[in-house]
Structure 1
């Protein structure tokens, strides 16, 4: 199931909503949930909007079942009931949550498609993630598939499918093959300028519906601005409708 978007409040496009599920387009640079900055976060904004639109008394339930890094925009799925949250969380644990991204990377990978497997270790003090040898204490396996779907002189547009959901996974794994993401101030400092927006977008989010069990697949295409606008919209549409990364 997929639906055209309408807007929640003033800022957040809604892709789909029923009694158990809310799918939205997360704006860039909005934290998914409250963090140390105290900036408005998506979870709080959506709860306030649900309370207002549905005239709900008291606290509104909204379950966070997956996350996107603050600079990343695109499709996200939330649960509106505890049953929905439980079943969607089970989809995450069983890898039934579909997560596919568009990313603009520097350069051209040696292989136009492939599977990347690294072991990532997060330094919680600095919020930095590094690739380390297998067997390193605390390291977690990270696996993704990628496919180059377009190129310009300096950049490649890649379609990425996550098999694991590690922190900063796409950003670190692409850096490891010599192609850091456009605008990545953390993992591509030598190639990016301060102020550039990270070019990573949650293009597809999907899972079995928590009560009806039918497949849900929500699509959001990146904004028509640089570096995304180096390629025609049709390229993104073809990638989003494809069953492979």
Structure 2
């Protein structure tokens, strides 16, 4: 269920939601309600629309990932935001918690990713592989707390499970992500990967925007607020 408290930003063309880890963006074979469908119901009720409101899925987050996700409320907003993503004119910032300290405090990861559709995992390689897709991201260690490390991540490409597989290949699997090498999973079926913000030029108003999502309140993430800086 989506409420007013989940909304990070809304205007005539766009709406940003603070996604909970465990929610699905679009319908899958689990049969669980999707954010797309819940948002249609929410907007139809909010604006007293007799039929379902228009909701366009601009981008996606993995089910166990939390944080900022943007939807379109108009076809114009959807088309133009799709173009911005395609042209890599949207700056995506994620936060991740890992247990292993990276060898370098900041760096760029460049890999080729190969998707195993049977196992639903993405494997990273340090060389070009047949049918693989090039993936690149920048990371920086924000700080350490209680034996964990908070990383800021800016993916430069948008591949399935890119951050999860590339951090695992680096030797730093995300906390709770036993699919990619962390020793145990979370009882909440979430991982410590959070979509912190999107920065882009509004597709209609052409104003520069940054929309941020606060860290989840789950008993673990909150303590990392002390490490966050204004520019993160």
Provide the TM-score with structure 1 as the length reference. 0.88
Aligned length: 231
Q: 1:46 offset after TM fit, Å?
A: 0.5
Equivalent runs, 1:1-245 vs 2, <5 Å? 8-9=2-3, 13-132=6-125, 134-189=127-182, 191-193=183-185, 195=187, 197-231=190-224, 233-236=225-228, 238=229, 241-242=231-232
Q: Which of 131-140 and 44-53 deviates more?
A: 131-140
Rounded Cα–Cα distance in structure 2 between residues aligned with 1:142 and 1:229 = 30
| Conserved 8 A contact 1:84-1:211 | yes
| Superimposed CA distance per residue, residues 142-183 of structure 1 (whole angstroms, 9 cap, x where no aligned partner) | 111000011135321101011111111111111111110000
Q: 1:225 offset after TM fit, Å?
A: 3.8
Q: 1:194 offset after TM fit, Å?
A: 5.2
Rounded Cα–Cα distance in structure 2 between residues aligned with 1:96 and 1:132 = 26
Q: 1:43 offset after TM fit, Å?
A: 0.6
| Superimposed CA distance per residue, residues 32-83 of structure 1 (whole angstroms, 9 cap, x where no aligned partner) | 1000101011111011100110011223211111100000110111111111
Q: 1:125 offset after TM fit, Å?
A: 2.0
Rounded Cα–Cα distance in structure 2 between residues aligned with 1:132 and 1:234 = 35
Listed as ranges, the gaps of 5+ residues in structure 2 are none
Listed as ranges, the gaps of 5+ residues in structure 1 are 1-6
Q: 1:137 offset after TM fit, Å?
A: 2.2
| Conserved 8 A contact 1:97-1:207 | yes
Structure 1 SS opposite 2:45: helix
- RMSD, aligned α-carbons: 1.8
- Hey, what does 1:3 align to over in structure 2? none
Structure 1 SS opposite 2:84: helix
| Conserved 8 A contact 1:100-1:160 | yes
Q: 1:8 offset after TM fit, Å?
A: 4.5
